[in-house]
Chain A
Amino acid sequence: MQLAYYPGCSLQQSSALYDVQSRRIFSELGADLNEIEDWNCCGATSAGKVDDFMAVAMPARNIGIAEQAGFAEMVIPCAACYSRTLVAQQRMADDPALQTTINAELGRPVNGTLKVSSILEALAALIAQGALKDRVVHKLTGLHPVCYYGCMMTRFPCTVPVPDDVENPQGMETVLKALGIRATDWNYKTACCGASAVVNDPDTAHNLMAKIMKDAVARGANCFVVTCPMCQMNLDVQQDEFCRRHGIEERLPVFFITEIIGAAMAIAPSELQTDRHFVDGTTLLKELEQHDEQSQ
């Protein structure tokens, strides 16, 4: 199966591990991710605060590139890139004059046929086709993840065809269930981590993340599972700091969904660069694997 793939800037830099994992996991599940040629920044959440026209125009160029290369579907693992691209596509569908204006400057214009998929939609489709059959090696018994979606996977600035429930999304739970893992239910799955506020307004971001962390701990979770590189980075990199400030003793690794799939398929954490986390996650995965082997 051939899918267009948009990594985005974050997956080429601080969250390069998510790029490595996405390519590997999709290829293991029988789908090829084809990075689209010469893609540009989607504008992320900042463009909408600075320039509304560019917030549509920047993702539009990427949509045009994928369409003109003949792809029917493009997978975008980064939650912000996914949201911005989906919203740009909807804005152009709602306003054909805007699409014409943008297309006039594009070498590869948009025609509006591309399906823009989040990583969860694409994974769910592969799993529904049986891609995980006989591939689960480790049951990871004892993994108690809370699925953390954040903002960008389900809430959008305009009406788009949302593939999951807005208040209680189930995309990650569905993928985990296919691996035989039961996610822990909790209250903060769609709360906001503060995103870039961690740099420009740290107190606000730390307050938000402390609430998320406290609920996860109270529910007995032993890790977070996420799909957004910004959420992963904030909860992972800042965890010591916001826990110290808010009197939280526990520390929880923050896994990308791709790392959990990889661990269940017995791919070594080092191959998925799980050893690049701030809060160590490899020890937990190793313990669970050993526990699985002993109980067999």
Chain B
Amino acid sequence: MSEPALDFNPGPTKSFLAEVIERSGQPLTACYQCRRCAAGCSVGDETDNLTPNILIRMVVLGDRDRALNNALVWKCVSCYTCGTRCPNDIQTARITETLKKMGKAEHVEPLEPQIADFHDAFVKSGLRWGRVNEMEFMGAYEMKFALRKIREKDYGAIIDELKNQGRLGMEMTRRKRMHFGFLMAKGRNEIKALQRKSKQRAR
């Protein structure tokens, strides 16, 4: 007996779709698969033909595991081309951003962990000090990268990364594009209070 093309389970499907609509603010059910988003996607060459319209259909059909963790969700650079061109005003980049956060909340190991690490390190630096310190957040990012590669026993990748970033750092310094002072905002307590509020709201 052949396998069914799709296991349709209406209860969880509806609640997954409702959650993505609610959190992203995007009217996913308005998509009629015209593929204007697919035609303009900046990272269309990088996503194994997983175009924004297909991602929308995945969510609508309740294909939860694939929707939460795929090449488009992680390769999407939030250029917002798809949404700007959508005849139904669906901003798919907001959907990829939402699926990243939902995946994280459910402890799904990201398909591209270094991309998740980068955004985490950046936002943490901004929240901690009130301003982002490039050297600090890049240091935190590179540390996570190295630890992951040690776990994977991929020591060559660490050496390559060190070489590349070291060379870049030296070139940046030579051209006075590197900043060695530390940035901080006095009002970072307000930022921290807002962050606490954000956590309460997420609960």
A15 to B25, CA, bound (A): 34
Q: Would B112 and A201 count as touching, CB distance under 8 A? A: yes
A194 to B112, CA, bound (A): 15
Q: How far is the CB of A145 from chain B (nearest CB, A)?
A: 22
A96 within 8 A of B: no
Q: Would B131 and A9 count as touching, CB distance under 8 A? A: yes
Per-residue interface assignment for chain B, residues 68 to 98, with 1 indicating a CB less than 8 Å from any chain A CB and 0 otherwise: 0000000101111101100001010110010
- Of the listed residues A40, A61, A159, A276, the one surrounded by the most CB atoms of chain B closer than 10 A to its CB is A40
Q: Would A41 and B131 count as touching, CB distance under 8 A? A: yes
Residue among B77, B127, B132, B178 making CB contact with A44, cutoff 8 Å: B132
Q: How far is the CB of A179 from chain B (nearest CB, A)?
A: 26
B interface size (C-beta, 8 A) = 62
Q: Would B112 and A50 count as touching, CB distance under 8 A? A: no
A interface, how many residues as a size bin? 35 or more
Known interface pairs A151-B79, A158-B91. Does A53 touch B123 (Cβ–Cβ under 8 Å)?
no
Q: Would B134 and A49 count as touching, CB distance under 8 A? A: no
Q: Would A105 and B197 count as touching, CB distance under 8 A? A: yes
Q: How many pairs of A and B residues are in contact by the CB < 8 Å rule? A: 174
Q: Which residue of B lies closest to A42 (CB)?
A: B126
A46 within 8 A of B: yes
A9 to B128, CA, bound (A): 14
Cβ–Cβ < 8 Å partners of B176 in chain A: 273, 276
A290 within 8 A of B: no
Cβ–Cβ < 8 Å partners of B94 in chain A: 48, 157
Cβ–Cβ < 8 Å partners of A14 in chain B: 134, 172, 177-179
Q: Would A41 and B197 count as touching, CB distance under 8 A? A: no
Known interface pairs A45-B78, A54-B195, A105-B197. Does A155 touch B84 (Cβ–Cβ under 8 Å)?
yes
Residue among B175, B187, B202 making CB contact with A40, cutoff 8 Å: B187
B9 within 8 A of A: no
Cβ–Cβ < 8 Å partners of B168 in chain A: 237
B118 within 8 A of A: yes
A60 to B101, CA, bound (A): 22
A175 within 8 A of B: no
Known interface pairs A49-B101, A157-B91. Does A40 touch B194 (Cβ–Cβ under 8 Å)?
no
Interface, chain A (partner B; CB < 8 A): 9-10, 12-17, 38-41, 43-54, 57-58, 61, 101-102, 105-107, 151, 154-159, 166, 190-192, 194-197, 199-201, 203-204, 207-208, 237, 273, 276-278
A-B contact pairs, 7 of them (CB 8 A): A9-B134, A151-B78, A199-B141, A208-B42, A208-B77, A237-B177, A278-B175
